[in-house]
A and B are shown apart, each in its own frame.
Chain A
Amino acid sequence: MKSQSLLTSIHPATVPDSLASHERAEIDASTRGPVLLFFGCSVFWLLVGSLLGLVAAWKMTHPGLLDSMAWLTFGRIRPAHLNVVVYGWAFQAGIGVALWLMARLCRIPLLHAKLLVSATLFWNLGVLIGVLGILAGDSRSVEWLELPGYATPILFLAYACIGVWAVIMFRYRRPGHVYVSQWYLLAAFLWFPWLYATANILLIWQPVQGSAQGAVNWWFARNVLGLWLTPIGLASAFYMIPKVLGRPIHSYYLSLLGFWALALFYSWNGMHHLIGGPFPAWMISASVVASILMIIPVITVAINHHMTMKGHFEALKWSPTLRFTVFGAMAYTVVSLQGCLMAIPSLNTITHFTDYTIGHAHLGLYGFFSMMMFGAIYYIVPRLVGWEWPSATMIRWHFWLAATGVLLMVGALTIGGLLQGLALYDPKVSFQSSLDFATPFRWVRGISGFLLLAGHLVFACLFVQMLLKIGHRRTGPALFTESKTEAASL
């Protein structure tokens, strides 16, 4: 191994891990308790979050729906939906995947799993108290930070236990290659506490004066997505694609470039949510430039994934993990390029303040991140419980319900949002028209919510069967086409 020069010393390896099967089994077994607990809780919150989102969506077309009680009003259900899917589902699924990847890639068993289990319980307690607080009316209405000030310290403590674990695991990894996924994970685990502490102190506990709040707010909200969820999603893709195909990642030079460009540019993106807002022009300009420069990390990652997949796309026919992961990777490319365009001020003036942004957010958090997590969970859980997914048909149903649901939702909100935005832009058009244009598309969005909820029920049903080891017992992994075998079914 050429580890003399600085550059080679920080090269990530191109192959995820090469462990003997007994070592792999030992490592997987050590992660079983906490990882399954994270997944189980995340699936629970996914169902709660889908239901809240569905109610919020139908309230937009039926304002009289469930409007007699304060805790069911749109202005509380909507932030409850966001916080449940972000902190309940996405965070916990992400942490579960991240810990499992970390243990496998560091090639060491997870020690003292019981401490992690207690951290999980604390995290869920924090989410539960926080969401009840939002419904009770204790939110400050700071987007992405609606969980009241009495819930966030619980979350922070729980996170501290989890994050320290990941860093310690990395510190005591077995000598040898460091894989690109580990970069993303280690960086995410270091960035998040800084991000969360800053935002909570300056916005909730000791609110800073005036419009500085807006800057801190969107610096936080953008980076939770960009520097916490995105690295975990990409780490998973960088692991799963080569693993399922049984071939190395295309280029580590591109991995290197993609990682550092993401770190440098994504962190500056936040102000593109505030174009025209009460801030010095240079802050907005810096974010617009950084948002457009995001093309670099996005394209490098896309090329890297595409070249790894090249010639092997038929694997999408049989591998559930790969199908979800590749859908997520493609959504990542599309949503990021869409984000670059939306930051251009002349386009932003149309799309700002409209449903278009909501569609964009769902393409990112669902089309990219959630699909990535589904793919990873389909890969990881059989290796933890020693039982294969009982029904390939149900996985197929889950995939198509989720994929059509999210595409329908994003498509409807994109077109509806553009019409709404054009109406809001034109001084000759009344405000009422902006509602009239958006309404039919909001109906379609409401319907897509049923598809997503149905998909999540199928997924939850499969997950429970796995935990209880019930259902059809199979000898090989659950694949869409039975004739193939998963190349690296290890």
Chain B
Amino acid sequence: MNKLPLFVIGVLCTFAFSWLGLVVYPFVKLGHLEPVPDEETGGYFPPTLSGAAVAGQQVYAANGCIYCHSQQVRPASLSTDIAKEVGPRRTVARDYLRERTVFLGTMRTGPDLANVGLRKTDPNWLHRHLYEPRSVTPWSIMPSYRYLYKMQKIQGQPSANALRELSGRHAPEPGYEVVPTDDANALVAYLLSLKRNYPLPEAPLPAAK
């Protein structure tokens, strides 16, 4: 093999081919999308995120929610996602342009979260679920995120943000309360923000029946 340069060029060219297709192309075409103006409200699709929701993305990443929860709705031609009410329409590239890390996910050990904010609108329910999943969903295998909450003695009046309706063995002792940390509040704000139910030119909502 005295044609070493030829070999090296071949090795690098085959690789560059996929690099152009699967890295450079999406970088150019998908990496610079713009939100679409919403003429009715003067807002944008996808909507801007609150500061708490942005902070919640970091909590989501740090605790590895992605290893059990996907965030994508596949089109009806390829899956039953829409029939199973994972979301009202397929998700497209523009849906993710506000995410610092895109949590598409590869597992559905737990339910998809692309539209969790449409299904769950009560922050207290989400807090109870994170604090002790089996207190609200008995068959859940999600781990408890108690470490994102503080158990504290009630000083005078109970705190306004204390978790309500904790029952059974998960309930705090009398005189004590469970309050979310900043991380828990941010995570819940992020989950509530996950609603991909706005129309986009490339992904219109299905006509109302």
Q: Which stretch from A17-25, A65-73, A369-377 is at the chain B interface? A: A65-73
Q: Which residues of A contact B108 (CB under 8 A)?
A: 353-354, 424, 434
Docked Cα-Cα span, A349 to B107, in Å, equals: 12
Docked Cα-Cα span, A274 to B106, in Å, equals: 8
List 6 A-B residue pairs with CB atoms under 8 Å apart, sorted by A's residue number.
A6-B3, A9-B1, A209-B30, A271-B22, A278-B93, A349-B74
Measured as residues with beta carbon below 8 angstroms from the partner, the interface class of chain A is 35 or more
Are A215 and B30 in touch, CB under 8 angstroms? yes
Q: Which residues of A contact B157 (CB under 8 A)?
A: none
Q: Which residues of B contact A400 (CB under 8 A)?
A: none
Are A275 and B78 in touch, CB under 8 angstroms? yes
A48-90 interface bits toward B, Cβ cutoff 8 Å, 1 = contact, 0 = none: 0000000000011101100111100111101100000000000
In the complex formed, the residue of B with least CB distance to A12 is B1
Are B65 and A63 in touch, CB under 8 angstroms? no
Docked Cα-Cα span, A78 to B94, in Å, equals: 30
Q: Which stretch from A184-192, A303-311, A319-327, A478-486 is at the chain B interface? A: A184-192
Are A10 and B64 in touch, CB under 8 angstroms? no
Q: Of A9, A353, A435, which is in contact with the most chain B CB atoms at under 10 Å from its CB?
A: A353
Are B101 and A213 in touch, CB under 8 angstroms? yes
Answer whether residue B91 sits at the interface, using C-beta atoms and an 8 A cutoff.
Answer: yes
Docked Cα-Cα span, A216 to B20, in Å, equals: 11
Answer whether residue B168 sits at the interface, using C-beta atoms and an 8 A cutoff.
Answer: no
Docked Cα-Cα span, A286 to B21, in Å, equals: 9
Tell me how far the C-beta of B44 lies from the nearest C-beta in chain A, rounded to whole angstroms: 14
Extra A-B contacts (5), CB below 8 Å, given A275-B74, A287-B22, A357-B107: A73-B64, A203-B101, A207-B100, A211-B96, A427-B83
Q: Known contacts being A202-B27, A215-B26, is A67 close to B143, with CB within 8 Å?
A: yes
Docked Cα-Cα span, A92 to B23, in Å, equals: 27
Are B141 and A435 in touch, CB under 8 angstroms? yes
Answer whether residue B50 sits at the interface, using C-beta atoms and an 8 A cutoff.
Answer: no
Q: Known contacts being A73-B64, A194-B19, A349-B78, is A212 close to B31, with CB within 8 Å?
A: yes
Are A278 and B92 in touch, CB under 8 angstroms? yes
B residues with a Cβ closer than 8 A to A are 1-3, 6-8, 10-12, 14-15, 17-19, 21-23, 25-27, 29-33, 60-68, 70, 72, 74-75, 78-81, 83-84, 90-97, 99-109, 111, 133-134, 139-148
Partner of B106, one of A143, A187, A271, A436: A143
Q: Which residues of B contact A6 (CB under 8 A)?
A: 3, 6
Are A63 and B142 in touch, CB under 8 angstroms? yes
In the complex formed, the residue of B with least CB distance to A64 is B144
Docked Cα-Cα span, A215 to B21, in Å, equals: 10
Answer whether residue A141 sits at the interface, using C-beta atoms and an 8 A cutoff.
Answer: yes
In the complex formed, the residue of B with least CB distance to A353 is B108
Query: What secondary structure prevails in chain A residues at the interface with B?
Result: helix
Are A74 and B84 in touch, CB under 8 angstroms? no
Q: Which stretch from A132-140, A154-162, A468-476 is at the chain B interface? A: A132-140
Q: Within residues 408 to 438 of chain A, which ones have a CB less than 8 A from any CB in chain B? A: 424-427, 431-432, 434-436
Q: Which stretch from A39-47, A236-244, A262-270, A450-458 is at the chain B interface? A: A262-270
Q: Known contacts being A207-B100, A354-B108, is A137 close to B62, with CB within 8 Å?
A: yes
Docked Cα-Cα span, A283 to B8, in Å, equals: 27
Q: Which residues of A contact B106 (CB under 8 A)?
A: 143, 273, 352-353, 357
Q: Which residues of A contact B66 (CB under 8 A)?
A: 75, 141, 143
Answer whether residue A91 sits at the interface, using C-beta atoms and an 8 A cutoff.
Answer: no
Are A78 and B31 in touch, CB under 8 angstroms? no
Q: Which residues of A contact B2 (CB under 8 A)?
A: 3, 9
Q: Which residues of B contact A76 (CB under 8 A)?
A: 62-64
Are B104 and A63 in touch, CB under 8 angstroms? no
Answer whether residue A386 sits at the interface, using C-beta atoms and an 8 A cutoff.
Answer: no
In the complex formed, the residue of A with least CB distance to B25 is A283
Q: Which residues of A contact B99 (CB under 8 A)?
A: 210
A298-342 interface bits toward B, Cβ cutoff 8 Å, 1 = contact, 0 = none: 000000000000000000000000000000000000000000000
